[in-house]
Amino acid sequence: MHEIPTTYKGMFDLTGKTAIVTGSARGMGYEMARGLMEHGAKVLLVDLNKDGVEEARASLESQGGIIGTISLDVTADDAPARIIEAARELGGVDILVNNAGILSTADFPDMGDDQWDRVMGINLRAPMRIMREALKAMIDQGSGSIINMGSSWSSRASAFNQDGGGPDYCASKAALQALTRSAAQDGATSGVRVNAIAPGVVDTKMHEDRRALIYEYEKYIPVGRMQLAHDVVGACVFLAAAASSYITGQTVHVNGGLLMID
Ligand SMILES: NC(=O)c1ccc[n+]([C@@H]2O[C@H](COP(=O)([O-])OP(=O)(O)OC[C@H]3O[C@@H](n4cnc5c(N)ncnc54)[C@H](O)[C@@H]3O)[C@@H](O)[C@H]2O)c1
């Protein structure tokens, strides 16, 4: 029987929860980890970059967080099992943010099969495998929230045409958003929610070699400024918390209005 809340205070409180955030040594992953931590969650930082993830841990612990780290490539065969085990050691498997990803600037006619497999491996197959493992654990316990990082470019041709097409990137993010809906259906009656966040163009190190190019898009962003890593934190905390308990299978677009114009 569903209980109607007696108060709405604390609907963003994550005290007692443990969150896994992949790709959290820097960028949006780090900021989302910080946001979840500041709302009370213990956070497991997962990243390929061993030094980066330890620096992130030191920074978050100095702000009072309870933080675990695991340094691995999300595409490794044993990555899902190792991540879930490390999360259980830290506190549990309550929240998963599948954020690790890479950009591609391939032109389609020149895009090799290896390139396609690499981008799909990191941006789609790895989050699928980690999500599958987390979903099982969450269905067993009857609660959980999974957040996948999509992109505005899941429904567009790449913004970076002048610099290559990125068809593999766009396809990987569209597929991840589609997979979000199927996973949400599987978790829906078991108290497990699965949603995606689709950022627009965000000034992070992902674009460090094309920074001038991404700022050319600033004039097309209705809110009038470039998106920064912290802009996705509100949506992440919302989707992780009880505040969004009736929302599942959705993609929340956090892009300053980019997709509302042609
Ligand atoms: N920056 C953008 O414009 C933008 C826009 C829409 C969506 N996104 C998506 O948001 C997510 C975060 O992007 P960001 O801009 O913060 O990126 P970023 O490059 O700043 O950070 C990505 C992090 O993921 C880690 N990582 C990459 N490959 C990994 C692997 N195989 N195993 C483990 N860790 C790995 C990196 O070490 C890095 O710390 C990505 O999925 C990206 O595709 C980014």
Active-site residue flag, 215: no
How far CA 16 is from CA of 95, 119, 146, 199, 206, in Å, comes to: 11, 35, 17, 28, 32
Q: Which two tokens stand for residue 10?
A: 């604390």
Q: Could you tell me if residue 159 is inside a domain?
A: yes
**Which entry of 169, 215, 217, 220 is annotated as an active-site residue?**
169
The mean per-residue pLDDT over the stretch 207-217 comes to 89
Over residues 48-84, the pLDDT tens digits come to 999 999 999 999 999 999 999 999 999 999 999 999 9
Q: Could you tell me if residue 5 is inside a domain?
A: no
Range of the domain at 122: 18-260
If you take atom 22 of ligand 1, which residue's CA is the nearest one? 23
**Does residue 201's CB lie within 6 angstroms of at least one atom of ligand 1?**
yes
**Does residue 28's CB lie within 6 angstroms of at least one atom of ligand 1?**
yes
Q: Could you tell me if residue 126 is inside a domain?
A: yes
Beta-strand (E) ranges in 108-169?
Answer: 144-149
- Tally of domains within the chain: 1
Q: Could you tell me if residue 125 is inside a domain?
A: yes
Of the candidates 231, 123, 213, the one whose C-alpha atom is nearest the C-alpha of residue 168 is 123
Q: Could you tell me if residue 249 is inside a domain?
A: yes
Q: Could you tell me if residue 221 is inside a domain?
A: yes
Over residues 166-188, the pLDDT tens digits come to 899 999 999 999 999 999 999 99
Over residues 75-128, the pLDDT tens digits come to 999 999 999 999 999 999 999 999 999 998 878 888 899 999 999 999 999 999
Residue 101 C-alpha to ligand 1 middle, in angstroms? 4
CATH of the domain at 118: 3.40.50.720
Q: Could you tell me if residue 12 is inside a domain?
A: no
